[in-house]
A and B are shown apart, each in its own frame.
Chain A
Amino acid sequence: MIIRQIDYSFQIPTITAIFLSTMSKNILIVDNYDSFTENLRHLLMQVRPDYKFTVIRNNDRVMFDSHWDGLVISPGPKGPADTGLLKEFFESRVIEEKMPLLGVCLGMQFLAWYYGLRVKPSDDARHGRTVTIDTTGNDIFKGLKDPLKVVRYNSLAIVEPAEFIEEKTALQVTAIQSDSKMIMAIRHRDLPFSAVQFHPESFLTENAEAMMNNFFRDYIDD
């Protein structure tokens, strides 16, 4: 990528800035010491081969040192408060810069928790199970089939029902599990944050690439 950037800047300097920004973006993946982070990175790289994805563990201050065009929060063990420097980074950088964000599993729970929702052990814990979800058909689900089969790995879930979330918080619900009301995806009303409870990086989740493509197109691409 660096070589290409230099080439273009030599030839057509006036439109370089615009051109480069459509060509490449710097995306941070915060890894919550998870075992699916590489699956996620490879999925994202397939969808945006020209973007640069950097994985940094959640307790590594290095994440504060660079400019990022977007943030992806990985799944991970424990609860939303057990995410190292993530809260500090989220407050000082993500909100501040309106940095586009995609949260996965613990990543979604972090977002929900940050905006005041409760995340607790659920009676419907599932690990490696395929479930059907109903989506709003917008945001990252635009143009995808509905309902959709996705894979879940979570014991914890958002406690509050969709109606409460819509009324009382800045978040909107974009998908729920068909056979229960478990919150399966949310977005922020005004900020560029979107998140899913299920695992798009699992090999058994349908339409994961299209979903990620929607995220990049609506949130990050120029």
Chain B
Amino acid sequence: MIEYNSKKLETPQIPELFNAVDHFGGISLFSSQTDDDREYTGINPIIILTEEQLQYGYEKQTISDPMKALDKLISAHSYLPEELSILGYLSYDFKDRLEEKGLYERRTQGIFPDLYFAIFEHYIISGRNENKAEIYTLEFPFDYKSVALNLFPFSKTPEEKISRYKGTSMNKKQHMKGVSQTVKYIREGDIYQANITRAIYGETEFSPVENAVNLYYSNRIAYGVFACIPGGHVISTSPELFFKTEAGHITASPIKGTIMRGNSHYKDDKNREELLQSEKDIAELAMIVDLLRNDLSLVSIPGTVKVPQFPILMTLENVFHLYADVKGELIPGKGTGEILKQIFPGGSITGCPKIRSCQIIDEIERVPRGIYTGSFGKIGFNGDSIFNIMIRSLFQSENTIIFNVGGGITLLSDGEEEYEETIHKGANIWKAIRMENIQEEQYYTEE
């Protein structure tokens, strides 16, 4: 049995929290929204599940089915309080291990593990709206390396630092060719839509914590991540939920369609109406809703998968989005590992139909995506779980950085516009890491 104790804590500052994650190893999931401002942080991983092994402190066991092992790990610790969780992720590259053999080639980026989940020694649960925090410390019944958790202030170095652009997996010409190949596949009936992305490489003078803090303050989002794991650091400012399960119910809330808020009442109303009337955006949202209905149906009781309202307007500080909720009642006994096995990766970052889209993505994108477009999440010991879609994320290994940008390609997509869009999509990241916001082409001479 794992023993635990908990005590109240003064709410740590974000830099302090990230510093502790960086120093001791761990994962922090955060929401930085105005009305939902909180963090859930695990520090010093003790029980670690990766693709091939399960580690208890110093002792390692070989396993054959990590998703089954994940569900076992949860049910074996269901006596722990519901505030505690397993934290971790699946990389996008893991998808081939969840499908019929031979459908996808085996790809792996090789920087971070493709699958990683952990139970930690310390959990800090902090809420900025109520200004309160609690720390849980676990005691394990086997030998492990315990750390005394102390939060120490984070001093920002005063000198001016920058990040440098080092290249991309697809330059403008290659990206435009990829877009036109995708459009050709759509015309020929292979798919209705696919998400085509590219990686941008760089070098940074900032430490991972500095980059994480800068990115944290760059946007208000609900599904952020800062993690220090084998291979390096992961920083995400994802606004997108993949799914959550709660008391036997599963919900996904796909977002499609974006328009800027107007700077006058008149303009604001006009933009809102334009989005609500946009046949293109509504068609794309309908497609992802149908895809998620399908995926949730794989784990839900027949007849329970519903779309209560379509579409719904989301009003944010700077933009309007369209979205819809897809809800289902889970088939009793489905653990999160089993759910992930059935529905991963999230349909909004593959395309539709999903399998053929993933094959086309593998063909067009020149490098494995790694954790990008995978899912980070939290599985409570009561079985409730929440997973994000890993977009708008930065991956740092020492001073090397990678981030990825992309978009959904449809029949009417234009290569030039899609390429421009990939640059805009990265705007917050370019800015936060102080990488020259380049017209990338200037880095290329004609081949």
Contact = CB atoms under 8 A, between A and B. Distances in A.
Contact of A57 (B100, B192, B283, B286): B100
Contacts of A79: 188-189
A108 B259 CA distance: 38
Contact of A46 (B298, B302, B347, B410): B302
A47 to B, nearest CB: 10
B302 A35 contact: no
B222 interface: no
Contact of B279 (A33, A37, A129): A129
A42 B303 contact: yes
Contact of B286 (A34, A41, A128): A128
Contacts of A98: none
B329 to A, nearest CB: 12
A77 B310 CA distance: 26
A126 B410 CA distance: 10
Interface stretch (A22-30, A63-71, A151-159, A185-193): A151-159
Contacts of B287: 127-128, 153
A57 to B, nearest CB: 7
A221 B403 CA distance: 56
Contacts of B297: 38-39, 41-42
Contacts of B190: 77-78
B186 interface: yes
Nearest to B99: A33
A78 B285 CA distance: 22
Interface in A29-77: 33-39, 41-42, 45-46, 49, 57, 75-77
A202 interface: yes
B311 to A, nearest CB: 11
Interface string A145-188: 00000010111100000000000000000000000000000000
A220 interface: no
B91 to A, nearest CB: 21
Contacts of A42: 297, 302-303, 305
B284 interface: yes
B294 interface: yes
Contacts of B103: 33
Interface string B393-413: 000000000000000001100
A128 B186 contact: no
A128 B310 CA distance: 13
Interface in B153-204: 186-193
A130 B356 CA distance: 23
A176 B287 CA distance: 22
Interface string B199-211: 0000000000000
Contact of A39 (B293, B354, B411): B293
A36 B294 contact: yes
A153 B411 CA distance: 12
B303 A78 contact: no
Interface string B269-294: 00000000001001111110111011
Contacts of B187: 121, 125, 155
A115 interface: no
B368 interface: no
B283 A38 contact: no
A203 interface: yes
Contacts of A210: none
A144 interface: no
A80 B4 CA distance: 60
A77 B191 contact: yes
B294 A127 contact: no
Interface string B305-345: 10100100000000000000000000000000000000000
B352 interface: yes
Contacts of A129: 279, 283, 286
B189 A155 contact: yes
A204 interface: yes
B303 A125 contact: no
B295 A38 contact: yes
Contacts of A204: 286, 310
A130 B189 CA distance: 18
Interface string A110-131: 0000000000010001111110
B353 interface: yes
Given A79-B189, A128-B192, A155-B186, A39 B283 contact: no
Interface of B: 100, 103, 186-193, 279, 282-287, 289-291, 293-295, 297-298, 302-303, 305, 307, 310, 347, 352-356, 410-411
30 contacts: A33-B103, A35-B354, A36-B294, A38-B293, A39-B294, A42-B297, A42-B302, A42-B303, A45-B302, A45-B303, A46-B303, A57-B100, A75-B353, A77-B353, A78-B188, A78-B189, A78-B356, A79-B189, A125-B411, A127-B287, A127-B411, A128-B290, A129-B286, A153-B287, A153-B352, A155-B411, A156-B188, A202-B290, A203-B286, A203-B307
Given A35-B355, A127-B186, 5 more contacts: A35-B352, A38-B293, A38-B294, A38-B297, A125-B411
Interface of A: 33-39, 41-42, 45-46, 49, 57, 75-79, 121, 125-130, 151, 153-156, 199, 201-204
Q: Which 6 A-B pairs have the closest CB atoms?
A: A128-B283, A127-B192, A77-B356, A128-B287, A38-B297, A35-B353
